[in-house]
Amino acid sequence: MQSDKGLYSAPRWRLARWLAEPGPGVPDDIRAALIAQLYGSLPVFAAGAVNTIAVAAVIAGRKQTVPFVIWLVMEIAICLARLLVLVSAHRAARLQRPTPTDLHLLLAVAWSASVGFGAIVSLASGDWVVAMLASLSAAAMVGGICFRNFGAPRLAGTMILLSLGPIVPGAALAGEPLFYIVFLQVPMYLAAMTAAAFRLNRMLVTTMRAERENSHRAHHDALTGLLNRAGFVEALGGRLAARAERPFAVMFFDLDNFKPINDTFGHAAGDSVLKAVAARVRRLLPDDALVARMGGDEFVVLLDGVTAEMAQQTGHRLISEVALSYELSGEMHACIGASVGIALSPDHGADVAGLLAVADAALYQAKSGGKSRCCLASVGPTSRRCASSSRARKPLSQARPEAELVGWISKA
């Protein structure tokens, strides 16, 4: 579960899972982001911890009785434990290790219960200065609880109830009739703030869904569902930045004699063929391979952990797969070809532009040599190793007259 700071583990304990549940139908990636959001930041945590410890310390110094000393000790112990867990979680997330999410959630609940305990013993003490200070502190925490934890509205509601709810029995124990107004105020406040947490959660999830959909549209081709140019360039840049030891291949390929389909049957038929090509290539390649449509009938593949020979074998298989006939409409079928140019990292470059340029140049060499060919760039600046695919159906020559091009599209 990832955020800008790293990966955060999902809760495993039943109670922690219940507390962190954002609601039905929330995608896994959004759940991941919501879990990361619950960790917040150290400055935000420090502000709340300093406030509650300071209030507990002032009141304990004024009253110097066992309940208030217990409250102060609880506040210090819980806040210190939360600080250690928070620091440990941030470090573990950066190192991509499991994070103590269950403990983090339960300590948050314990902290809110400690705030509520301070409120009830302060009201029961009969010291109105102490009662006012503790009640104000509890009420002040509620806003922060709501706006910091609305990614998990059940957690926010539980913390609000435990921190502010004890004021009601505390007012009854105080024996002051004027305090009885909290019997009306506190339940309304609890209901309003909990409802606000759930409403904010729905707004956040809706916003995150929209952001992810926009990001998907920005990085994927609308016709084929493959990555688009921007998405592939970003993925390739990330792969190069990772500086992994395993080599990988960038394979540029485009379709031979695709234009007659658009010219003869229209762009709807051409779009159908492009979608079919994308589906075939996706099925042919491993799940971890990246496939993108760069525009028009140009595609590119990033294949991880392959040698030059393996990349060439994949290129020939790709040519053979693309060369199988396509159903256009009714009984009409068409055959096209494909030419492939291959560049390897790190042999042919260590930057995005360089690798794509080398693969594109190898593709040009393949097409210049007669199409339906796979050309592997060599380490030299101009030399290329190219081979025809014997299994590929020979595509039409560009010199054929239009009558023959139409004949190439035939009835089954």
Q: Looking at the structure, do residues 19 and 85 belong to the same domain, yes or no?
A: yes
Q: Looking at the structure, do residues 209 and 64 belong to the same domain, yes or no?
A: yes
Residue 223 counted as domain residue:
no
Q: Looking at the structure, do residues 278 and 197 belong to the same domain, yes or no?
A: no
pLDDT at 386: 64
Q: Looking at the structure, do residues 354 and 406 belong to the same domain, yes or no?
A: yes
pLDDT at 244: 63
Q: Which two tokens stand for residue 158?
A: 């539980």
Q: Looking at the structure, do residues 272 and 371 belong to the same domain, yes or no?
A: yes
CA distance 366 to 376: 9
CA distance 339 to 78: 65
First-to-last alpha carbon distance for the chain, in angstroms, is: 51
Domain that holds residue 71: 2-218
Structurally, how many domains does the chain consist of? 2
CA dist 190 → 117, 137, 159, 166, 177 (Å): 17, 15, 10, 11, 21
| Residues linked to residue 293 through DSSP beta bridges, in sequence order | 299
Q: Looking at the structure, do residues 242 and 339 belong to the same domain, yes or no?
A: yes
Q: Looking at the structure, do residues 233 and 213 belong to the same domain, yes or no?
A: no
Q: Which residues are catalytic?
A: 297
Q: Looking at the structure, do residues 235 and 377 belong to the same domain, yes or no?
A: yes
CA dist 39 → 87, 133, 399 (Å): 10, 28, 66
DSSP state of 10: P
The amino acid sitting at 353 is: A
Q: Looking at the structure, do residues 182 and 265 belong to the same domain, yes or no?
A: no
| Domain of residue 388, CATH code | 3.30.70.270
Q: Residue 351 in contact with residue 334, Cβ under 8 Å?
A: no
Domain ends where: 191, 218, 245? 218
Q: CA angle 293-335-225, nearest 5°?
A: 25
Q: Looking at the structure, do residues 320 and 368 belong to the same domain, yes or no?
A: yes
pLDDT at 266: 86
Q: Which strand (E) or helix (H) includes residue 295?
A: strand 290-295
pLDDT in tens, the chain (412 residues): 444 445 899 999 999 999 999 988 888 889 999 999 898 777 878 888 898 999 999 999 999 999 999 999 999 999 999 999 999 999 999 888 999 999 999 999 999 999 999 999 999 998 989 998 999 889 888 888 888 888 899 999 999 999 999 999 998 888 888 888 888 888 998 899 889 999 999 999 999 999 888 988 889 999 999 999 999 999 888 888 876 667 899 999 999 989 888 888 888 889 999 999 999 999 999 988 999 999 999 999 999 888 899 999 999 999 999 999 888 876 788 889 999 999 998 888 888 888 899 999 999 998 887 878 899 987 654 444 566 554 444 333 333 333 233 334 444 4
Q: Which two tokens stand for residue 159?
A: 């913390």
Q: What is residue 269's three-state secondary structure? A: helix
Q: Which two tokens stand for residue 314?
A: 């994949």
pLDDT at 389: 56
Q: Residue 55 in contact with residue 121, Cβ under 8 Å?
A: no
pLDDT at 46: 85
Domain ends where: 190, 218, 246? 218
pLDDT at 412: 40
Q: Looking at the structure, do residues 209 and 316 belong to the same domain, yes or no?
A: no
Among residues 47, 81, 173, which one has the least CA distance to residue 55?
Answer: 47
Q: Looking at the structure, do residues 114 and 236 belong to the same domain, yes or no?
A: no
Q: Residue 145 in contact with residue 112, Cβ under 8 Å?
A: yes
Domain ends where: 158, 192, 218? 218
Among residues 365, 284, 294, which one has the least CA distance to residue 320?
Answer: 284
Q: What is the DSSP string of 201-252?
A: HHHHHHHHHHHHHHHHHHHB-TTT-SB-HHHHHHHHHHHHHTT-SS-EEEEE
Among residues 208, 203, 59, which one has the least CA distance to residue 137?
Answer: 59
Radius of gyration for the alpha carbons in the chain, expressed in angstroms and rounded: 32
Residue 224 counted as domain residue:
no
Exposure of 359 by Cβ count < 10 A (0-12 exposed, 13-18 middle, 19+ buried)? Answer: buried
Whole-structure pTM value: 0.69
Q: Residue 328 in contact with residue 334, Cβ under 8 Å?
A: yes
